[in-house]
A and B are shown apart, each in its own frame.
Chain A
Amino acid sequence: MPDATGLELIANELRESEGPEAILSTLYFRGRATLEVAPAKIRSVLASLRKRGYKSMMSVHGVDYYPHEPRLGVHYELLDMVEVDRITVSLRVPTSAPTVDSVTPAGADGPGWPTADHQEREIYDMFGVVFAGHPDLRRILMPEDYEGHPQRRDFPVGGEPVIFTYNEHASQGIGTVGGGTPTESLR
């Protein structure tokens, strides 16, 4: 990991090249470096980091920071295999405008990150962050006509009361096909 001073150097260089509002903050915690960027600049920041050597994107994942606004966060984990260095780039968008440029497709600022394909779809499915420019943005884990974004913190965990013999006549019984909308709880 770049140490704290290394992180600040990277951040300053990025501020110079991308603009002062690109990097919102830096965080060095337990030996790991995180850059928080403005959502509009994510592609260019990642392209610059790629030029600095962080050529592999290991993970793209979403976080829901409920109740802190802006709620939805997306984290990009970058890895430099030559120097064995990792850096995290994070951004946050509110639920009212959850749009982020997708980093999957190639663009004017360089080849994209093909590894983000399924991972961005998963973030869309679970959190509702819309990735503009993604080649095929549809639900990946839930059925495609599912309503709601399950991993948001205000989505209920759900669940069913367990069917025993004494309450099995109260259950919906055979013949009802599950799927589609979330299952109703038993009466």
Chain B
Amino acid sequence: MSPTDQISEYRRREQSITLSQVESGEDTHDELLTLNFGPHHPATHGVLRLLVTLQGEVVRSIKPVIGYVHTGIEKTAEDKAYWKAIPVVERMDYLSYYFNAMAYVGAVETLLEVEVPKRAQYLRVIHLELNRIASHLIWLGTSALDLGAVSIFLYCLRERELILDLFEMSSGQRMHTRYFQVGGVMEDIPPGFVKKAREFTKIMPARANQYRAILDANQIVLQRLRGTCPLDAETLLGLGVTGPLLRAAGNPWDLRKAAPYSSYEDFDFKIPVGTVGDNYDRFAVRVAEIYESVKIIDQALDGLPEGPHITEDRKVALPPRHELATSMEALIHHFKLVTEGFRVPPGEIYNPIESPRGELACFVRSDGSSKPARVHMRDPSFVNLQALSHMAEGSYIADMIATLAMLDPILGGIDR
């Protein structure tokens, strides 16, 4: 059994190791070693491949190679009715699944010009902020694991279990819950959800204080994060980087405050902003965001209005089951919505929201039928990854690992 004889140029290049030479002082040469941080690596946060050119321990150039978890989600979503595309789109950035759904559902709602009831907006905010905390917890756990602090990982997973319990309570699923639907949320929260969420918000700040107590006072963490790989806001803006990375560099751009969507203007919260833009600032900004998210959840639970949990427009949202027994129109609506789905008037929309990693936007083009003609997610990790080489070139490998951790890339969103 012989492998195919014609190996393409690309594959031959893949299998080679390059060693080049560079001048470094009189009559001496340093070797530049190109090392492959392969897709299977414990520290690359998913299947990211980095071609790192090293001069000694100093990184000279980084070339990320992605595509190892490319799933053709955008193509698959074109094949499905609008509401059937929600689970497909949720699985892109697999840590912030509610955000993917929110961007997509918000785009479709704008196209349909359908109003989302206030209660649904507040429920969405609660789940979005819970998801933000969960995403930051995994980030914190895996980053600390990269730096060597193994126990933080388990503490963060313990908190995340509480959040996943809340998700399971409201929708039945821990991840990829399909809870956000076009026009609102799938179901109203069960009794006991508010109580359990309040228990969570009561203990979460104390737990976050515990993490800070371990990490912020730890010399190893401070030395690895302080002053390493800073990047100024100008360059970051040119690279299109948004989110905690930009806020760490001093630019307080947050779509929840700048262009509020889904009732975010009703809540009072602060935006943590860094000063220097090094790894420590990125770390501190994200940890501070956990506290702010807890505040938002508390305010949303306090002010949760009564009302429907999904739009009353029967052409878009399923009628409640008890109506199906009595009303003929409800039955017909239910039938048409489930089999064909609603039709969206033709148009194109770009809907941006603020996800834990930056600006997550969904571009939906509809052609008048019941299936979207193009769904594209502007994923923040995909754009933020371009900043890695600017950040880490000229620093040590260890700093590059720390920077990659602080960059918080999610390969599902990068590769889609």
Contact = CB atoms under 8 A, between A and B. Distances in A.
A and B associate in one complex? yes
Contact of A141 (B258, B350, B359, B415): B415
Contacts of B75: 150-151, 155, 157
A117 B386 contact: yes
Interface string A142-164: 11110000110101011000000
Contacts of A88: 350
Contacts of B240: 56-59, 113-116
Nearest to B240: A115
| 10 nearest A-B residue pairs (beta carbon) | A115-B240, A59-B378, A144-B10, A141-B67, A145-B8, A141-B70, A61-B376, A63-B374, A145-B10, A114-B238
Nearest to B352: A58
A158 B75 CA distance: 10
Given A30-B349, A111-B238, A115-B240, A157 B76 contact: yes
Nearest to A177: B3
B382 A143 contact: no
A55 interface: yes
A41 interface: no
28 contacts: A30-B110, A55-B237, A56-B237, A58-B359, A59-B240, A61-B363, A61-B376, A62-B376, A63-B363, A63-B365, A84-B259, A114-B239, A115-B238, A115-B240, A115-B383, A115-B386, A118-B383, A119-B382, A141-B66, A141-B415, A142-B67, A142-B70, A151-B74, A155-B75, A157-B72, A157-B75, A157-B76, A157-B79
Nearest to A75: B363
B11 interface: yes
A81 interface: yes
Contacts of A116: 240
B68 to A, nearest CB: 9
A143 B67 contact: yes
A134 interface: no
Interface string A45-85: 00000000001111101111000000000010100010010
A113 B238 contact: yes
Chain A interface mostly: loop
A122 B352 CA distance: 20
Given A30-B110, A30-B113, A141-B66, A64 B374 contact: yes
Contacts of A151: 74-75
A119 B74 contact: no
A107 interface: no
B217 interface: no
B383 A143 contact: no
A119 B378 CA distance: 9
A143 B76 CA distance: 19
B213 interface: no
Contacts, number: 106
B347 interface: yes
Contacts of A62: 376
Contacts of A145: 8, 10-11
A59 B363 contact: yes
A32 interface: yes
Contacts of A157: 72, 75-76, 79
Nearest to B76: A157
A82 to B, nearest CB: 10
Nearest to B79: A157
Nearest to B359: A58
A159 B48 CA distance: 24
A158 B79 CA distance: 11
Interface in B43-90: 66-67, 70, 72, 74-76, 78-79
Interface residues of A, number: 44
A150 B382 contact: no
B238 A32 contact: no
Nearest to B416: A141
A172 to B, nearest CB: 13
B382 A118 contact: yes
Interface in B363-416: 363, 365, 373-374, 376, 378, 382-383, 385-386, 415-416
Nearest to B257: A84
A127 B1 CA distance: 36
A28 to B, nearest CB: 11
A120 to B, nearest CB: 11
Interface in A72-131: 75, 77, 81, 84, 86, 88, 111, 113-119, 122
B49 to A, nearest CB: 12
Contacts of B385: 118
A77 B361 contact: yes
A10 interface: no
Contacts of A86: 350, 352
Interface in B1-27: 1, 3, 8, 10-11
A156 B350 CA distance: 26
Interface in B106-164: 110-111, 113
A175 interface: yes
B348 interface: yes
A158 to B, nearest CB: 8
B200 interface: no
Given A30-B347, A84-B258, 19 more contacts: A29-B348, A29-B349, A55-B237, A56-B237, A58-B361, A58-B378, A59-B378, A64-B374, A75-B348, A75-B363, A81-B237, A118-B385, A122-B382, A140-B67, A141-B70, A145-B11, A157-B76, A158-B72, A180-B8
